[in-house]
Chains A and B, each alone.
Chain A
Amino acid sequence: MSSATDGSTGGPPPQQGPVIELRAVSKSFGEVRSLINVDFALYPGEIVGLLGDNGAGKSTLIKTIMGYHAPDPGGQILFRGEPVSDWSVAKARSLGIETVYQERALCELQPIWRNMFMGRERRTRWGALDVSGMRREAARLMSEQMGFTSTAVHPDNTVQTMSGGEKQGVAITRALYFEAQVVILDEPTMGLSLSETRKTLNFIRSIKDRGRSAIFIDHNVFHVYPVVDRIVVLDRGRVTADVVKGDLTVEDLIHGLQDVARTGEWSQRA
């Protein structure tokens, strides 16, 4: 198992420390060990592709980063070099880490504006919910940012009336809106059409252009390869590879992943 620092030799210059770092993080659910002694680091302005088979621990890893799962005792999460205590989703989001979840994390019966501001509701200076402000802002974001539909989507419509791509648009716009320093995308292209996929990948590139970082999880190597700087491969809860993209072609990556699937080892010379 290579640690995060070994693999980043030719990558984005890590003169700054990592934005987020995991040290020796394990996560067990009863008898099942979903993550085993994982070291992981994400540097500013870097996009990391997180690959691995079903059940490799990808979703568990990002939910641990987000504070949804607490790591087993002994593991450490560091934000900008500082170990964090009482880590929670609310705290992770307040520090600028946003996630576009595989399951999208939307409340389908609620209007779009409520989903857009879920967990981050805006209030007036009197302390009451700023319903008209959130509604207006949601309408603006949808017409200016989402771009998944040419016509404006009305913020009062419930999410259940939207198409898969539009739902994904809400989830992504939500992550973008809160000026996230780190955006985590868990299979964001799943179930999307060709044009929607293209927009999503362009969005991921734009994260890097703004000097922010992202973790991009996808089953599809052809989606991951073009946009990432570094690739981390998880297999059965362990990091089996941590390689800079510049060193390998997409064919190398596919062969490497096949090796991991067969032997559990990344045999390629990175």
Chain B
Amino acid sequence: MSIDETFLAQGAAEADDGHPKADHSRAPSIWRRSGLQIGILAVGVVILVTFIIAAPDVFLRANIYQAFASTTPLFLIMALGLTLVVITGEIDLSFPSVMALSMVSFVYAFQAGMFVGVAFLLAILTGALAGFINGTLVSRVGIPSLVITIGTAFLFRGIELAIMSGRGVPLTDAGLAPVRAVLVGRYFGVPMQVVWTFLLAALLWFILNRTKFGAHVYLVGDNSISAKLMGVSVARTKTGAFMIMGMCAAFAGVVASFEVSYFWPTLGDGSLLNTIASVFLGGTSVFGGTGSVFGTLIGGFIIGALNAGIVSAGINAFWTQAVFGLVIVFSVVLQTLITRRVRK
């Protein structure tokens, strides 16, 4: 129809200008798809090699790796859960308090004579509830997560301290032995918590990459308005991510307490920055929409290795924080450069 051509010519927003278009027919290269993970893995390898060269008699023995496999999971378990929250474009700062609050449920349930498995489940449920509260306040009431989770961090910690009156509880009862063996026992020199960390990472990878909920986590963090226009429930997805985070915090709380056979009311203090650093070091974007469980796993082990390694490598203890900070800043700058290059 020639009349259409006239209409089109009058109405076209822009003419075909023969501008060369990118060739999309090829699959994106491995570098484009996984550049960040490769980059972070490379940083990890470099750090490990540096430590081995600096202190071969420490880093060529199993002891240091056992030490670091027993302490790293205590924050890495939470970093794995936090990855989902950060991919949705939010943040959770209340998880150290959730660790402790969940242990209150565990201790009270066990002391009330409940089966230890039930006490464990109640602890996890407490974490889920805390996450539900965070997620609801963020996604339905619409308060920025950075603000509200500072509030709930004080609230959860305050409730825990008030209930416990600041006293700790030894976890030495014979009835607790099976839980200890399962959660933090040592088999062939391998601490069980590191096994649980890998299992949790596998589970969260599956949730993130092979479930509808996981697909929505990425979409909501990328562009929540687009997701909502296409019928994705932003509130449900964000609340779900916060609940997973809460359950991870509860699990980490139980593991950390059994590792020292004592529930300290200050449980979780000092875990905040290690956890968050693991997520960002692992290449998960603070802007949401991108990130991976694998990246966080590597990020967490780098943080753990730095914690365990800096002193062992003979670096003056006053310098540990500076080295720590330097590695994190360097890695994050590297990631930004990689991302910028890949996106071009």
Contacts and interface: CB of A to CB of B under 8 A. Distances in A.
Interface residues of A, number: 56
Interface stretch (A6-14, A26-34, A71-79, A218-226): A218-226
A90 interface: yes
A103 B224 CA distance: 13
Interface in B158-177: none
Given A107-B289, A129-B214, A156-B33, A194 B9 contact: yes
- By secondary structure, the A interface counts as loop
A84 interface: no
B331 to A, nearest CB: 21
Given A129-B215, A222-B10, A110 B222 contact: yes
A110 B219 contact: yes
- The residue in A63, A123, A157, A195 that gathers the most chain B C-beta atoms within 10 A of its C-beta is A157
B242 to A, nearest CB: 21
A131 to B, nearest CB: 7
A198 B229 CA distance: 26
Nearest to B214: A129
A179 interface: no
Given A106-B223, A154-B26, A197-B12, A114 B215 contact: yes
Nearest to B343: A160
Contacts of B16: 193-195
Interface stretch (A35-43, A145-153, A238-246): A145-153
A192 B17 CA distance: 12
B289 A109 contact: yes
Contacts of A226: 1, 3-4, 7
Given A107-B289, A157-B24, A222-B8, A192 B13 contact: yes
A253 interface: no
Nearest to B222: A107
B140 interface: no
B211 interface: yes
A162 B212 CA distance: 25
Given A121-B212, A129-B215, A103 B225 contact: yes
B209 interface: yes
A247 interface: no
Interface residues of B, number: 46
Contact of A89 (B11, B212, B231): B231
Contacts of A90: 231, 233
Interface string A215-241: 000001011011000000000000000
A154 B289 contact: no
Interface in A160-218: 160-163, 166, 189-195, 197-198, 201
Nearest to B226: A105
Contacts of A127: 211
B228 interface: yes
B317 interface: no
A118 to B, nearest CB: 4
Given A131-B210, A226-B4, A89 B28 contact: no
Contacts of B7: 222-223, 225-226
Given A190-B13, A194-B15, A195-B16, A118 B226 contact: yes
Contacts of A191: 13-14
Contacts of A225: 7
A129 B210 contact: yes
A99 interface: yes
Contacts of A101: 229
Contacts of B239: none
Interface in B220-262: 222-223, 225-233
A222 B11 contact: yes
A192 B233 CA distance: 31
Given A107-B223, A110-B218, A128-B210, A193 B230 contact: no
A87 B249 CA distance: 37
A154 B212 contact: no
Contact of A198 (B8, B15, B214, B232): B8
B244 to A, nearest CB: 17
Contact of B227 (A119, A162, A192): A119
Nearest to A104: B226
Contacts of A3: none
A239 B33 CA distance: 49
A129 B211 contact: yes
A139 B28 CA distance: 14
Contacts of A107: 218-219, 222-223, 226-227, 289
B229 A105 contact: yes
A123 B25 contact: no
Given A109-B289, A154-B28, A222-B8, A118 B13 contact: no
A166 B218 CA distance: 22
B141 interface: no
A220 B11 contact: yes
A58 interface: no
B234 to A, nearest CB: 11
A162 B226 CA distance: 17
A105 B23 CA distance: 23
17 contacts: A89-B230, A105-B225, A106-B226, A107-B219, A109-B222, A110-B289, A114-B218, A119-B231, A120-B230, A121-B215, A151-B24, A154-B26, A194-B8, A198-B4, A201-B4, A201-B8, A225-B7
Interface of B: 1, 3-4, 7-17, 21-28, 33, 206, 209-212, 214-215, 218-219, 222-223, 225-233, 289-290, 343
- 9 nearest A-B pairs in the assembled complex, by CB-CB distance: A89-B231, A107-B222, A119-B230, A90-B231, A222-B7, A151-B25, A119-B231, A222-B11, A105-B229
